[in-house]
């Protein structure tokens, strides 16, 4: 008998309720301001049923699919990182007390979250951030507390966007571990089911509590077809063999100057990227001088200030900043963390206002290396 189970569309509400009853605040995909975003939800009616998305370089539109698929979209602008590694975080507050002052930390948020609808590429991005933020000798305690309390319900991809290339990066379209439960939505003919597999004891327990029906071989085959169809329809490809070496050997490639003519240095690519982790720290005081707050905010290697060291900024022009970003993602991340810093989600392509495409830029450098 298969260990996998089958859930019906109505079971999504039971899944949300079961997670809620276990103390999780459920965060899932929902539509806001014309995009799919990840927000707290209490009902399956908040999920984007029948919505799809159309993505291209510098282009994103939600579509009405006119069907009952709940996960018929790919990814929106937000990664899950905003819930694990928030864009803004107060580190401490200092208050004047007579002739001295006191300092109060903010503690860590004890809310346990269940993420519903994590795409395989996004799971890989969470694992990448785990490595960066908790893998070294000085772990980010806030991140670790949020991450340890998180239950992950992944959803395999059936419909990659034109900007997706997870298959090249080995991160999708099927999840490979690191989840509590993974669902595959199968909607063909009269059948509409979620093929569900547990990846942890907690996941097995949730599915057992729901009395999920065991899956049949035909269900497994149908789920397999969904991800294989997605794999065959990837919008983009990135040749990863030897790529770090090619990029390291071409740091002065004229392509970087070419891309800099288009790059606005807006930093959108770093804000939407689910693996980007850089931050800056600001101290903010009130006008009376009685309170000071130290705030940590996401930062971007596309700002001049980001590379400021004594005497000035190190990366003074756009091409140096773009090169830093691309080579970190695709080459030096391997040196630091033993893997790529890109999971192939395609967000940086979709949300770049001028449609700069990381796969195209890397391929151009690879092509000139081959022609030498």
Tell me which residues touch ligand SF4 (CB under 6 A): 263-269, 272-275, 302, 329, 342-348, 352-354, 356, 358
Which C-beta is closer to ligand SF4: that of 191 or that of 262? Answer: 262
Q: What phi and psi values does residue 42 have, to the nearest 5 degrees?
A: -120, -10
Shortest distance, CB of residue 169 to ligand SF4, whole angstroms?
A: 8
CB of 299 to ligand SF4, least distance (A): 13
> What's the CA gap between 324 and 314, in Å, rounded?
11
Whether 223 and 184 have beta carbons less than 8 Å apart is answered as: yes
- Three-state DSSP state, 316: coil
Kindly tell me which of 181 and 272 has the beta carbon lying closer to ligand SF4: 272
For residue 302, the minimal CB distance to ligand SF4 (Å) is 4
> What's the closest the beta carbon of residue 354 comes to ligand SF4, in angstroms?
5
Of 119 and 296, nearer to ligand SF4 (C-beta) is 119
Nearest CB to ligand SF4, comparing residues 24 and 277: 277
CA atoms of 358 and 166, how far apart (whole Å): 13
Q: Which is nearer to ligand SF4, 5 or 171 (CB)?
A: 171
Alpha-carbon Rg for the chain in angstroms:
22
In the complex with ligand SF4, which residue's Cβ is closer, 85 or 181? 85
CA–CA gap between residue 143 and residue 84 (Å, rounded): 6
250 or 270, CB closer to ligand SF4?
270
Closest to 160 measured CA to CA, from 366, 361, 343: 343
In our burial notation (b when 16+ CB lie closer than 10 A, e otherwise), range 122-154 reads bbbbbbbbbbbbeeeeeebebbebbbebbbbbb
CB 356, min distance to ligand SF4, A = 4
Both tokens of residue 67?
Answer: 């069907």
Q: Give the shortest CB-291-to-ligand SF4 separation in angstroms.
A: 35
**Angstrom distance (rounded) from CA 147 to CA 84:** 6
Specify the residue, 191 or 297, whose C-beta has the smaller distance to ligand SF4: 297
Least distance in Å: CB of 322 to ligand SF4?
6
For CA atoms 237, 240, 245, 251, give the dihedral sign.
positive
* Among 133, 128, 79, CA closest to 274: 79
Question: Shortest distance, CB of residue 141 to ligand SF4, whole angstroms?
Answer: 25
Half-sphere exposure of 197 (CA within 13 A, CB side): 19
């Amino acid at each position: 008998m298969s260990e996998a189970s089958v859930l019906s569309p109505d079971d999504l509400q039971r899944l949300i309720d079961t997670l809620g009853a276990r103390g999780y605040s459920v965060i899932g995909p929902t539509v806001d301001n014309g995009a799919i975003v990840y927000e707290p939800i209490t009902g399956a009616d908040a999920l984007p049923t029948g919505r799809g998305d159309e993505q291209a370089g510098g282009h994103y539109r939600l579509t009405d699919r006119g069907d009952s698929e709940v996960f018929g979209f790919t990814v929106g602008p937000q990664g899950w990182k905003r819930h694990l590694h928030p864009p803004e975080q107060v580190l401490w507050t200092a208050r004047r007390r007579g002739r001295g002052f006191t300092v109060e930390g903010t503690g860590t948020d004890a809310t346990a979250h269940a993420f519903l609808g994590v795409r395989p590429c996004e799971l890989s991005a969470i694992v990448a951030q785990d490595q960066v933020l908790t893998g070294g000798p000085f772990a980010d305690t806030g991140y670790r507390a949020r991450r340890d309390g998180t239950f992950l319900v992944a959803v395999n991809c059936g419909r990659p966007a034109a900007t997706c290339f997870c298959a090249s990066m080995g991160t999708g379209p099927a999840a490979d571990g690191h989840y509590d439960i993974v669902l595959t939505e199968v909607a063909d003919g009269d059948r509409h089911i979620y093929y569900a597999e547990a990846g942890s004891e907690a996941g097995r327990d949730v599915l057992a509590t729901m009395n999920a029906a065991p899956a049949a071989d035909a269900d497994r085959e149908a789920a397999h077809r969904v991800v294989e169809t997605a794999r065959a329809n990837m919008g983009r490809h990135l040749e990863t063999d030897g790529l770090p070496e090619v990029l390291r050997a071409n740091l002065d490639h004229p392509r970087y100057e070419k891309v800099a003519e288009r790059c606005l240095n807006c930093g959108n690519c770093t804000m939407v990227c689910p693996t980007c982790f850089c931050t800056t720290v600001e101290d903010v005081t009130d006008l009376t001088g009685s309170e000071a707050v130290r705030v940590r905010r996401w930062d971007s290697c596309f700002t001049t200030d980001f590379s400021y060291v004594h005497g000035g900024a190190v990366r003074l022009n756009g091409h140096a900043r773009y090169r830093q970003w691309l080579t970190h993602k695709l080459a030096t991340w391997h040196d630091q963390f033993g893997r790529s810093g890109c999971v192939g989600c395609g967000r940086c392509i979709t949300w770049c206002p001028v449609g700069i495409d990381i796969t195209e830029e890397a391929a151009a450098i690879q092509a000139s290396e081959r022609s030498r």
